């Protein structure tokens, strides 16, 4: 029994910790440099971590010594000429990572041998090659990383690969999916983005299932283009193949966090049988058209969320810092507080004046809505019509704000201003639906 002495316990040991009336069973995790003194972190059996304050009355019992997780076996891979070959390109995230409880480090497996060691079930589906192209938390990515992904994908396509799985962190997965969709025109094979909401060391991890379903989809269908493959429900039964430019992360931690918005999913993949049911016939099939690649420049594009009591300074910052573009997440049908109706609302006139000045400076401004479903319609109310009169784009569009941000950034990277005004409201990669359907509203 160890009491009041955390120095004698080691990372990776299974502990029984009694603190007051509560008892915890779990594996001791490494101490963060930012963690509080006299606090330990346990990974519980359900996969969640809990921080426990160690007091003079805390009792700590070591139930099992630390044991290092064995490395995946690197057995020779047999190539099956009857199977398709899939390239797994890793950009970071948790899908191919595991925790070494002796060192506390998170190690990532990227060689084909290591991937098959972690997920042996995929070897029955296809041949695999694997490559690390980045190792970043997705919230830290920049346009330069998108270009890195684009180059790696283009190289694999040129090599004659049958399909590509891009592993990615979930935080900005929808941004990257949209970026690849716009940058790679006429993609001739499936490029499926896969992530994991829960790390692979947890019993409830979605890493293996998402990877397996993506592999089945590539190996068994004629789909071509960019899509996202993630859990469809809370159980381990099916994954949804969702459209790249219409999908949003709708929950911080649920495994079925990714949903298609204002559109339906492309297909459903049964994780047990590998059976695939398409939800639409309107998808691109594999072809031999020439792929056109247009990458990103380091343009300055911002996102501004409309809210009550906005000030002129919030608009002015984009003018002073010479932004190339701005996406506004407007209220309702696409509104901003720009109209004065009494003495108290006079500052709204200054907001409108600053927005007009911003557009006159050359900044391209587009409107989206904070509402998740539906589309922008600035023809209905006077505020919307005023915004249209000064050149705000996006009317009658139903683009997600993140897709609008990526599309505007890509357009500014590749086209002239006069072309951007036309192309922004044109459906290029399925980002704008022709008409809103009630069936796509999430109850």
Instruction: Provide the percentage of residues in the chain whose pLDDT is more than 70.
Output: 85
* pLDDT number for residue 149: 98
Mean pLDDT of 56-82: 74
Helical segments of 44-160, H only: 112-118, 143-159
Domain contains 440: no
Q: Work out the burial of residue 321: count CB atoms within 10 Å of its CB; fewer than 13 is exposed, 13-18 middle, 19 or more buried.
A: exposed
> Do 335 and 241 share a domain, yes or no?
no
> Do 322 and 398 share a domain, yes or no?
yes
Instruction: Please state which of the ranges 53-62, 109-118, 282-291, 310-319 shows the lowest mean pLDDT.
Output: 109-118
Q: Is the pLDDT of residue 339 over 90?
A: yes
> Do 119 and 261 share a domain, yes or no?
yes
List the structure tokens of 411: 């357009």
pLDDT band (50, 70, 90) for residue 46: low
For residue 378, what are the CA distances in angstroms to 220, 340, 394, 427? 44, 18, 9, 18
* pLDDT number for residue 388: 98
Find the CATH number of the domain harbouring 308.
3.40.50.40
- Residue-wise burial string across 96-120, b where 16 or more C-beta atoms lie within 10 A, e elsewhere: bbbbbbbebeeebbbebbbbbbbbe
Closest to 328 (Cα-Cα) out of 301, 300, 353: 301
* pLDDT number for residue 120: 78
* pLDDT number for residue 332: 97
Domain contains 443: no
Closest to 306 (Cα-Cα) out of 298, 296, 315: 315
Contacts of 309 (CB under 8 A, 6+ apart): 337
> Do 289 and 305 share a domain, yes or no?
no
Closest to 61 (Cα-Cα) out of 117, 98, 139, 8: 8
* pLDDT number for residue 106: 54
Highest mean pLDDT among 127-136, 231-240, 423-432: 423-432
Last residue of a domain, one of 260, 293, 326: 293
Domain contains 207: yes
* pLDDT number for residue 204: 60
CB 156, CB 164: distance < 8 Å? yes
pLDDT, tens digit (0-9, with 9 covering 90-100), for 84-102: 999 999 997 666 566 555 4
- Residue-wise burial string across 60-90, b where 16 or more C-beta atoms lie within 10 A, e elsewhere: bebeeebeeeeebeeeeeeeeeeebbbbbbb
Instruction: Please state which of the ranges 207-211, 302-306, 373-377 shows the lowest mean pLDDT.
Output: 207-211
* pLDDT number for residue 71: 54
Q: Is the pLDDT of residue 400 over 80?
A: yes
> Do 206 and 280 share a domain, yes or no?
yes
Q: What is the pTM of this model?
A: 0.84
pLDDT band (50, 70, 90) for residue 48: low
> Do 281 and 311 share a domain, yes or no?
no
> Do 416 and 321 share a domain, yes or no?
yes
> Do 187 and 251 share a domain, yes or no?
yes
Mean pLDDT of 287-305: 97
Length of the chain equals 443
Domain contains 72: no
DSSP 273: T
pLDDT, tens digit (0-9, with 9 covering 90-100), for 119-162: 778 889 999 998 989 888 889 999 999 999 999 999 999 999 99
* pLDDT number for residue 52: 85
Number of folded domains that form the chain: 3
Residue with token string 């031999």: 288
* pLDDT number for residue 34: 45
Domain contains 135: yes
> Do 257 and 308 share a domain, yes or no?
no
Domain contains 174: yes
Instruction: Provide the percentage of residues in the chain whose pLDDT is more than 90.
Output: 65
* pLDDT number for residue 4: 53
CA distance 118 to 386: 57
Domain contains 214: yes
Indicate if the alpha-carbon torsion angle 305, 312, 143, 409 is positive or negative. positive
> Do 116 and 201 share a domain, yes or no?
yes
Range of the domain at 262: 85-293
For residue 401, what are the CA distances in angstroms to 145, 245, 362, 369, 394? 20, 10, 21, 7, 11
CB 169, CB 258: distance < 8 Å? no
Domain contains 43: yes
List the structure tokens of 168: 């990615």
pLDDT band (50, 70, 90) for residue 246: very high
* pLDDT number for residue 1: 43
**Cα Rg, the chain, nearest whole Å:** 25
Last residue of a domain, one of 293, 321, 346: 293
CA distance 415 to 407: 12
User: Could you count the other beta carbons within 10 Å of the beta carbon of residue 226?
Assistant: 27
Last residue of a domain, one of 247, 267, 293: 293
Find the CATH number of the domain harbouring 96.
3.40.50.1170
Residue with token string 């996969």: 47
DSSP 81: T
pLDDT band (50, 70, 90) for residue 322: very high
Residues belonging to the active site: 94, 170-171, 249
* pLDDT number for residue 442: 63
CA distance 189 to 157: 8
Whole-number mean pLDDT of the chain? 88
> Do 283 and 182 share a domain, yes or no?
yes
Q: Is the pLDDT of residue 362 over 60?
A: yes
> Do 275 and 139 share a domain, yes or no?
yes
Find the CATH number of the domain harbouring 29.
2.30.30.520
């Amino acid at each position: 029994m160890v009491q009041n002495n955390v120095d004698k316990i080691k990372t990776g040991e299974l502990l029984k910790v009694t603190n007051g009336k509560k008892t915890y069973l779990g594996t001791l995790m490494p101490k963060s440099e930012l963690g509080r003194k006299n606090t330990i972190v346990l990974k519980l059996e359900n996969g969640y971590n809990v921080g426990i304050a160690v007091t003079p009355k805390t009792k700590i019992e070591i139930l099992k010594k630390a044991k290092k997780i064995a490395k995946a076996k690197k057995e020779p891979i047999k190539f099956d000429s009857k199977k398709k070959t899939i390239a797994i390109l890793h950009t970071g995230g948790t899908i191919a990572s595991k925790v070494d409880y002796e060192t506390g480090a998170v190690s990532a497996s990227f060689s084909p041998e290591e991937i098959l060691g972690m997920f042996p079930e995929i070897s029955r589906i296809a041949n695999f090659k694997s490559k690390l192209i980045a190792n970043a938390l997705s919230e830290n990515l920049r346009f330069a990383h998108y270009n890195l992904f684009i180059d790696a994908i283009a190289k694999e396509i040129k090599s004659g690969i049958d399909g590509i799985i891009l592993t990615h962190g979930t935080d900005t997965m929808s941004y990257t999916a949209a970026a690849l969709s716009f940058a790679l025109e006429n993609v001739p094979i499936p490029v499926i983005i896969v992530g994991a909401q829960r790390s692979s060391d947890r019993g409830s991890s979605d890493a293996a299932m998402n990877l397996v379903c993506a592999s089945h989809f590539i190996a068994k269908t004629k789909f071509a283009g960019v899509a996202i493959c993630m859990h469809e429900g809370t159980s381990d039964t099916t994954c949804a193949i969702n459209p790249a430019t219409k999908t949003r992360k709708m929950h911080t931690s649920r495994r079925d966090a990714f949903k298609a918005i204002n559109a339906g999913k492309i297909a459903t993949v049964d994780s047990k049988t590998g059976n695939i049911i398409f939800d639409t016939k309107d998808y691109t099939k594999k072809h031999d058209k020439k792929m056109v690649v247009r990458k990103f420049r380091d343009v300055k594009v911002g996102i501004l969320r409309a809210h009550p009591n906005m000030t002129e300074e919030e608009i002015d910052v984009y003018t002073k810092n010479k932004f190339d573009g701005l996406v506004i997440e407007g209220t309702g049908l696409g509104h901003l507080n720009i109209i004065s109706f009494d003495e108290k609302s006079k500052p709204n006139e200054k907001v409108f004046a600053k927005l007009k000045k911003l557009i006159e400076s050359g900044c391209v401004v587009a409107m989206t809505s904070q509402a998740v479903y539906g589309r922008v319609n600035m023809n209905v109310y006077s505020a919307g019509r005023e915004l249209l009169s000064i050149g705000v784009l996006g009317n009658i569009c139903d683009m997600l704000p993140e897709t609008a941000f990526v599309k505007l950034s890509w357009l500014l990277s590749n086209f002239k201003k006069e072309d951007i005004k036309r192309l922004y409201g044109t459906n290029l990669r399925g980002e704008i639906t022709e008409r809103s359907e009630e069936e796509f509203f999430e109850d």
